[in-house]
Amino acid sequence: MVQSQWPYWLPLRSDLRNISPYGAPQITGVVALNTNENPFPLPQEVVAAMSERLGQVVEGLNRYPDRDATALRGKLAHYITQTTGVEVTTENIWAANGSNEILQTLFLACGGVENLALGFTPSYSVHPLIAQITKTPWFAGSRDGDFAIDIPKARKLIREKSPHLVFVATPNNPSGTPTSIGDLKELAEVTGSVGGLLIVDEAYAEFSAEPSATTLLADFPHVVIVRTMSKAFAFAGARTGYLVAKPAVVNAALITRLPYHLSALTQAAAETALEFTPAMQSEIDLLILERNRVEAALAGVGFRVVPSSANFLLFSGFKGESSAIWQEFLDRGILIRDVGLRGFLRVTIGSPAENDQFIAALSSIASSPSDITE
Ligand SMILES: *Cc1c(COP(=O)(O)O)cnc(C)c1O
């Protein structure tokens, strides 16, 4: 919506008048490979257990939920301890409605007009978006041609700008490329030296072999790891994200969270999902195998594929505009993502059947008379 479309009587902030709401198209009746969800529905045993648990919770919905989501945070702490080898407790965890809400809570606590936030683009567009909404100045650092962060350059930049918040998504979205733990350590060092927080967005960590940035917490108290149950955990619809950090960061989040922000239903559902972690994550290995298969298919038609440690692939090497190729896929019933990066498109790894459909569309587009490949 552009400025002229806002009614005269609406006192909308002037700095928000020209921005459009975040959102990938939600189109029904197509193969949706555009938002990096896990394509597999919840296993039946989880559906049964969760339905029973939610049935019990419903009776008590006249009461507010546990404001501090203590039981859920305990289960998340256990999960992080088990999967990253770093022992954490409830005091190290904060949970919210998706990791986007976690990011907003952090911006509200440590951002604002006087505090600079810095990221390395192209990366997750929601980081600068929430910066804008919370009136936090944003500095966009860059990545090199392989979408890696040039560490000496980044160190220099952080020393120059002294940001309060530094964002690194790893594996990065939209490129799928990881930042090594050694590089993160260097970024943690320099961010600490200027008094900032290093926020490591690990939305896709479960797909990656790199150690988690939780391993930096012992030496670097100003590191915050942001996680989500939306991707590998196959739980996007329930909206559950969390952070792992020193208790002081959690206490800061308590100041800026809304009272009773996480419903009793969400807490109960997420607790149940965590009780069934192996079942909820049983398809990760298959998704990685499928990622390799889709990557080979893309390379097979002459496209270039960015090596990915996540559940999606960024590809290039087509002649036309990204938007035109995106439309070609949609015309064949496949919804992928135009991430606004010239000459690139991103595809989420789906179920084997969905990937077959993507590959069929790909072959048809690559061999079509419009000759879109180089
Ligand atoms: C998907 C995604 C998130 C947001 O996930 P939620 O559903 O809000 O938990 C956060 N960071 C990155 C990098 C993502 O790709």
Residue ranges matching CATH 3.90.1150.10 in the chain: 3-32+283-371
Q: Is 147 in the pocket of ligand 1 (CB under 6 A)?
A: no
User: pLDDT over 70 for what percent of the chain?
Assistant: 97
Could you report how far apart the first and last alpha carbons of the chain are, in Å?
A: 36
Please name the residue that has the structure tokens 């994550």: 281
Q: Is 176 in the pocket of ligand 1 (CB under 6 A)?
A: no
Residue ranges matching CATH 3.40.640.10 in the chain: 44-279
Instruction: Specify the residue with its C-alpha closest to ligand 1, atom 11.
Output: 203
Q: What amino acid is encoded at 116 in this protein?
A: L
Q: Given a cut of 80, is residue 173 above it in pLDDT? A: yes
Element (H, E) at 62: none
pLDDT tens digits along 176-209: 999 999 999 999 999 999 999 999 999 999 999 9
pLDDT tens digits along 8-67: 999 999 999 988 888 778 888 899 999 999 999 999 999 999 999 999 999 999 999 999
**Could you give the CA distance from residue 312 to residue 261 in angstroms, rounded to a whole number?**
31
Superfamily of 3-32+283-371 according to CATH: Aspartate Aminotransferase, domain 1 (3.90.1150.10)
- How large is the average pLDDT for residues 300-322? 96
* Under 8 Å between Cβ of 345 and 330: no
pLDDT tens digits along 125-149: 999 999 999 999 999 999 999 999 9
**pLDDT computed for residue 369 by the predictor:** 63
Q: Is 214 in the pocket of ligand 1 (CB under 6 A)?
A: no
**pLDDT computed for residue 3 by the predictor:** 52
Q: Ligand 1 centroid to 7 CA: how many Å?
A: 33
The alpha-carbon radius of gyration of the chain (Å, integer) is 21
Q: Is 98 in the pocket of ligand 1 (CB under 6 A)?
A: yes
Pocket test for ligand 1, best of 35, 97, 99 (most atoms within 8 A of CB): 99
**pLDDT computed for residue 269 by the predictor:** 98
Q: Given a cut of 70, is residue 373 above it in pLDDT? A: no
37 CB-side CA count, 13 A: 21
Q: Ligand 1 centroid to 339 CA: how many Å?
A: 14
Q: Give the atom of ligand 1 at the shortest distance from the alpha carbon of 228.
A: 9
* Under 8 Å between Cβ of 172 and 201: no
Of residues 210, 86, 214, the one with CA closest to residue 148: 210
Q: Given a cut of 80, is residue 290 above it in pLDDT? A: yes
Q: pLDDT tier at 246 (50, 70, 90 boundaries)?
A: very high
pLDDT tens digits along 226-245: 999 999 999 999 999 999 99
- How large is the average pLDDT for residues 291-303? 97
Q: pLDDT tier at 339 (50, 70, 90 boundaries)?
A: very high
Q: Ligand 1 centroid to 311 CA: how many Å?
A: 13
Q: Given a cut of 60, is residue 328 above it in pLDDT? A: yes
Q: pLDDT tier at 321 (50, 70, 90 boundaries)?
A: very high
**pLDDT computed for residue 156 by the predictor:** 98
**pLDDT computed for residue 21 by the predictor:** 86
Q: Is 122 in the pocket of ligand 1 (CB under 6 A)?
A: no
Strands 165-169 and 344-348: unpaired
Q: Determine if the peptide bond prior to 122 is cis (ω within 30°).
A: yes
Q: pLDDT tier at 69 (50, 70, 90 boundaries)?
A: very high
- How large is the average pLDDT for residues 107-120? 98
**pLDDT computed for residue 226 by the predictor:** 98
As a CATH number, domain 44-279 is 3.40.640.10
- How large is the average pLDDT for residues 268-287? 96
| Model-wide pTM > 0.85 | yes
Which tokens sit at 252? 């800061």
